[in-house]
C-alpha cells in the first residue's frame, strides 16, 4: 500500500515510494514467519537476505542465521535470498539435505527466465549490471547453462572487448539488473544498436525501482537537500544517490546515527526531501525523521 506524502515542520518531504518494495517485504516477512512456525528448527540464509544491516541483525536476534557457505550436513531450512542463486548452488543446498525455501524476488526471477529464454534461442546475451552483484551472478549462472556467449557490462567500455564477437553474431539480446539506472542502460543500447545485426532489448528494471527514481528526481528539483536512506551495499540505494547528486545536494546515510555527521548541511537547508532504498525498513526512515526534527 502506498504511503501518503508526509509534510513535517521545516519543510521535510517523505517520498511516497520509499522503503521496502514488494519483493523485499515478502522475503523478510516470510523468513520471520518460517521461524515462528518452526521455532526449534535451524534456519539459515545463504548470503544476506537483503542488503540492510539493521534487518540482518534483527533476523539474527530471532535465530535466523546468515551464512556464507552451505554447512555439510543438512539440518533445518536453508533460504535462498531475494537476489536469487545459481542453479548449481540450489542443487547443493538440496543435496546437503536442507529443506529449501526460495525467496528470490519475483522480478529477479523474471530476469532469470528472460535471460534463459534468450540464451536458449541463440542470442549473444548482454546482462547490464554490476558483475559482482549477487543478483547478476545468479542471472549469469542461469543463462550460462544454455550458452557460452554471456557477458556482464555496466558501461560501453566494458563491452568493447566483445565488439567483434557481437558484430559477427546473428543476434544480440539484453537483460538488465532490476535495480539498474536507465541512464546506464540507454548508452549501452545505443552502442549495441550500432554494432548488432539484430537486437532484442528486455528492459527488466523493476517498476518499483523506476517509480522510486522518477519520484525522487522530481522531489530533488524543489529541494535544498535530499537524504537517501539505506545500505551502502544496496545497489538500488546507491544508484538513487548517484542520480540525485546531479540534481541537488544529496547525502546517503544508512541510519539516523549518521545524521550528526551532516548537521551543518542540514542546518543550512530549508526544503529537505527523504527517500529510501527498497531494502530500507520503515523504522529506519522514521528514526531519521525524528532525528531531523531535533536539529
- Out of 4-13, 14-23, 31-40, 53-62, least confident range: 4-13
CATH of the domain at 233: 3.40.1010.20
Residue 255 has pLDDT above 50, yes or no: yes
Residue 72 has pLDDT above 90, yes or no: no
> What pLDDT is recorded for position 1?
43
Q: What is the chain's mean pLDDT, rounded?
A: 93
- What average pLDDT does this structure show over 222-247? 94
Instruction: Verify that 119 and 196 share a domain, yes or no.
Output: yes
- Concerning whether 135 is annotated as a catalytic residue, the answer is yes
Contacts of 288 (CB under 8 A, 6+ apart): 227, 229, 253, 255, 256, 259, 274
Domain final residue pick, 51, 69, 104: 104
Residue 7 has pLDDT above 50, yes or no: no
Grid cell for residue 286: 522514521
Instruction: Verify that 264 and 196 share a domain, yes or no.
Output: no
Residue 218 has pLDDT above 60, yes or no: yes
> What pLDDT is recorded for position 30?
97
Residue 215 has pLDDT above 50, yes or no: yes
Grid cell for residue 211: 517509480
Instruction: Verify that 45 and 12 share a domain, yes or no.
Output: no
Instruction: Verify that 214 and 287 share a domain, yes or no.
Output: yes
Q: Which of 29, 58, 85, 135 is catalytic?
A: 135
Residue 6 has pLDDT above 70, yes or no: no
d(CA 206, CA 23): 10
Instruction: Verify that 36 and 46 share a domain, yes or no.
Output: yes
> What pLDDT is recorded for position 8?
45
Residue 240 has pLDDT above 60, yes or no: yes
Instruction: Verify that 57 and 132 share a domain, yes or no.
Output: no
- What average pLDDT does this structure show over 41-67? 95
Name the residue range of residue 159's domain.
107-201
On whether residue 1 sits in a domain, the answer given is no
Instruction: Verify that 143 and 192 share a domain, yes or no.
Output: yes
Residue 169 has pLDDT above 70, yes or no: yes
Give the rounded percent of residues in the chain with a pLDDT score beyond 90.
90
Instruction: Verify that 128 and 59 share a domain, yes or no.
Output: no
On whether residue 230 sits in a domain, the answer given is yes
> What pLDDT is recorded for position 129?
96
Residue 232 has pLDDT above 80, yes or no: yes
Give the confidence band of 75 by pLDDT, cuts at 50, 70, 90.
confident
Cβ atoms 174, 192 nearer than 8 A: yes
Domain count, the chain: 3
On whether residue 214 sits in a domain, the answer given is yes
Give the confidence band of 99 by pLDDT, cuts at 50, 70, 90.
very high
Residue 289 has pLDDT above 90, yes or no: yes
Residue 213 has pLDDT above 50, yes or no: yes
How do residues 130-164 score in pLDDT, each as one tens digit?
A: 999 999 999 999 999 999 999 999 999 999 999 99
The length of the chain in residues reads 295
Domain final residue pick, 88, 104, 120: 104
Amino acid at each position: 500500500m502506498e504511503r501518503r506524502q508526509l509534510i513535517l515542520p521545516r519543510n521535510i518531504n517523505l517520498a511516497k515510494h520509499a522503503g521496502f518494495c514488494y519483493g523485499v517485504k515478502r522475503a523478510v516477512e516470510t523468513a520471520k514467519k518460517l521461524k515462528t512456525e518452526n521455532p526449534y528448527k535451524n534456519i539459515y540464509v545463504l548470503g544476506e537476505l537483503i542488503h540492510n544491516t539493521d534487518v540482518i541483525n534483527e533476523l539474527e536476534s530471532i535465530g535466523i542465521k546468515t551464512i556464507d557457505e552451505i554447512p555439510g550436513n543438512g539440518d533445518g531450512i536453508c533460504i535462498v535470498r531475494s537476489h536469487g542463486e545459481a542453479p548449481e548452488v540450489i542443487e547443493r543446498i538440496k543435496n546437503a539435505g536442507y529443506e529449501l525455501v526460495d525467496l528470490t524476488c519475483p522480478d529477479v526471477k523474471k530476469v532469470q527466465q528472460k535471460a534463459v529464454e534468450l540464451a536458449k534461442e541463440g542470442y549473444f546475451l548482454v546482462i547490464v549490471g554490476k558483475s559482482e552483484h549477487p543478483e547478476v551472478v545468479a542471472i549469469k549462472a542461469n543463462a550460462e547453462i544454455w550458452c557460452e556467449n554471456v557477458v556482464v557490462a555496466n558501461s560501453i567500455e566494458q563491452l568493447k572487448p566483445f565488439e567483434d564477437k557481437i558484430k559477427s553474431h546473428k543476434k544480440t539480446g539484453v537483460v538488465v539488473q532490476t535495480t539498474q539506472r536507465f541512464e546506464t542502460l540507454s548508452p549501452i543500447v545505443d552502442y549495441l544498436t550500432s554494432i548488432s545485426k539484430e537486437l532484442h532489448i528486455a528492459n527488466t528494471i523493476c517498476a518499483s525501482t523506476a517509480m522510486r527514481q522518477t519520484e525522487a528526481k522530481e522531489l530533488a528539483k524543489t529541494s535544498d537537500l535530499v537524504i537517501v536512506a539505506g545500505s551502502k551495499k544496496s545497489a538500488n540505494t546507491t544508484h538513487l544517490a548517484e542520480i540525485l547528486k546531479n540534481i541537488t545536494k544529496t547525502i546517503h546515510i544508512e541510519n539516523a546515527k549518521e545524521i550528526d555527521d551532516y548537521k551543518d548541511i542540514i542546518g543550512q537547508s530549508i526544503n529537505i526531501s527523504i527517500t529510501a532504498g527498497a531494502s530500507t525498513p520503515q523504522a529506519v526512515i522514521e528514526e531519521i525523521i525524528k532525528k531531523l526534527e531535533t536539529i
